[in-house]
Each structure stands twice: as structure tokens, then as C-alpha cells.
Amino acid sequence: MSYRLPSRLPSRLPYRIGVILAAAASAGALTILPASAGAGGQEPGGPTVRFTAGGAACEATPNNPHWSSGASDRRILFKTRVTCTSTYPSVTVRIQGSLQRGPFIGPKLVVATSDQTQVIKSGKSATFYTPLANGRQVSTPGMYTGYIKGQITAPVPGNIDDGHSKTVEVK
């Protein structure tokens, strides 16, 4: 459903409404609630990241940060699912991940990173984890965002693309 402002309203009204909403939010009169990491937090986070090289194309989707269900200890991570199609039998993909803690809007602190390379057969998928099991682990509840940078590195190097998950509260 779309709504149009009547044409007789001043043209700066949308700007003024934005200023009023921003003032209300900063005064605490308006609360913007971020998405909560539900049912394992494994839903796709942000937009799909695309990178290409020669006759290969890959799509990476970072999931929202969540509590690990497979680890014996309590830790926060996010997964990136990468699917590739190619004229080559397989391609080598590098994903650099960064788990960041911080508010929905504002500065964030990098709390864990990963740098992984996997060979992915054409038409298949692979999962990349941030942080890695042998890397620095995070177990403090809070607001988290997963950031990734991806690239096909072989048989032909390609462009680099980056993206992020939603900022979610992991309780």
C-alpha cells in the first residue's frame, strides 16, 4: 500500500517530519527496535554479495549472528553461505569475515575475524564461519553485525564484493 502526500503541502514537509522523528528518537520518545535473533538466528542477514571471475559467478549471503548450536561451549558466530556456478569444474573462494559488536546505528567494535578459502564445485554451496572454531570466541550477549568480503581467487581472480548481515541482538 502506498500513500502520497497531498500536493498542497509544503515540499519540505518530508524533511521536517524526518527532523521531528530524529529529535523524538534522540529524546527517548521514540524507540526503534532492531530485529531479534530468533530460532537460532540462522535467517539470511543482509543482501546477497556477488562476485565474478572469468566464467564463474558466486553469491554469498551472511546469516545473522546467533548462538552456536553445534559447539559444546556457548559462543556467538555467523555463517556465510556461498553458492557458485561456473564454466569451470570448481572455483576457489576466499571469504574474510568480521563479527562486530555495537549499536544498530553508530560505531562498532571488531570482536572476532576469520579468513577462509574453500574450493566450491560448480552448482554447489559451501559454508564459511566467523569466527573459526580455533579463533577468538565471543560469548557476551549484545548487538552484533556480521561483515564479509568475498572474492573468487582461482582459477581466475575476480572482483571483490562486500556486505553485512542485519544488526541483531543476541541475548
The DSSP letter of residue 53 is E
| Phi/psi of residue 21, nearest 5 degrees | -65, -40
**Amino acid at position 67, single letter:** W
- Give residue limits of the domains in the chain: 39-170
Q: Are the C-beta atoms of residues 112 and 130 closer than 8 Å to each other?
A: yes
If DSSP codes are grouped into helix, strand and coil, which group holds residue 80? strand
Tens digit of each residue's pLDDT (9 = 90 or more) over 50-107? 999 999 999 999 999 999 987 677 899 999 999 999 999 999 999 999 999 999 899 9
pLDDT, tens digit, 9 for 90 and up, residues 7-50: 444 444 343 434 333 444 444 433 333 333 333 455 667 889 99
Q: How far apart are CA 112 and CA 3, in angstroms?
A: 43
For domain 39-170, is the CATH number 2.60.40.10?
Answer: yes
What pTM does this model have?
A: 0.74
Cell, residue 129: 564461519
pLDDT digits (tens, 9 = 90+) for 115-158: 999 999 999 999 999 999 999 999 999 999 999 999 999 999 99
